[in-house]
């Protein structure tokens, strides 16, 4: 099962496929001075496009709809004091929309430094 690690910063998302060591990044104006994700649909579009770059859609995957992900999301900025329930829900909904709810498990956390691949795998166990 593909394991995705999503790092979110102000107006910047990095997506890493942990198993294949692929990494892509995208930028858009989805943050404001108060919220990491203020423009919900803009952030969802950036994440969707990044997933498409790592896993281009094929007719077989569309037909069978079998690809599911294990996902870890790190909010790396604007997370002083941790994430509120609203902020966590925004992250969940952005991931759900970008993946068409094709994930098996989703872990969200806030810190200032990205996780290593082994730490991502440990969070999913």
Average pLDDT for 40-61: 90
Average pLDDT for 17-44: 96
Q: Which of 41-45, 46-50, 59-63, 73-77 has the lowest mean pLDDT?
A: 59-63
What's the gap between Cα 11 and its chain centre? 13
pLDDT value at position 14? 98
Q: Which residue has the tokens 């068409």?
A: 100
What's the gap between Cα 78 and its chain centre? 16
**C-beta of residue 47 within 8 angstroms of C-beta of residue 98:** yes
pLDDT value at position 102? 86
Buried b (16+ CB within 10 A) or exposed e, 8-38: bbbbbbbbbbbeeeeeeebeeebbeeeebbe
Phi, psi dihedral angles at 37 (to 5 degrees): -120, 100
> pLDDT band at 69, cuts 50/70/90?
very high
**How far are the Cα atoms of 2, 8, 26, 31, 83 from residue 11, in angstroms, in the given order?**
25, 8, 8, 5, 17
**C-beta of residue 83 within 8 angstroms of C-beta of residue 108:** yes
> pLDDT band at 100, cuts 50/70/90?
confident
pLDDT value at position 32? 95
Per-residue pLDDT at 61 exceeds 70: no
Domains of the chain are 3-124 (3.30.420)
Average pLDDT, the chain: 92
Give the whole-angstrom CA distance, residue 22 versus residue 39.
27
> pLDDT band at 62, cuts 50/70/90?
low
pLDDT value at position 56? 87
66 or 16: which leads in pLDDT: 16
Give the whole-angstrom CA distance, residue 9 versus residue 21.
20
């Amino acid at each position: 099962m593909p394991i995705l690690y999503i790092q979110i910063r102000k107006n910047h998302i990095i997506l890493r496929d942990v198993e294949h060591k692929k990494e892509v990044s995208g930028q858009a104006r989805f943050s404001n001075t108060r919220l990491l994700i203020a423009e919900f649909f803009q952030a969802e579009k950036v994440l969707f496009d990044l997933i498409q770059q790592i896993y281009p859609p094929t007719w077989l995957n569309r037909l069978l709809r079998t690809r599911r992900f294990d996902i870890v999301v790190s909010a790396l900025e604007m997370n002083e004091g941790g994430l509120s329930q609203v902020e966590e829900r925004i992250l969940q909904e952005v991931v759900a929309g970008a993946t068409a709810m094709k994930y098996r498990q989703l872990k969200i956390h806030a810190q200032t430094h990205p996780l290593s691949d082994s730490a991502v795998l440990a969070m999913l166990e």
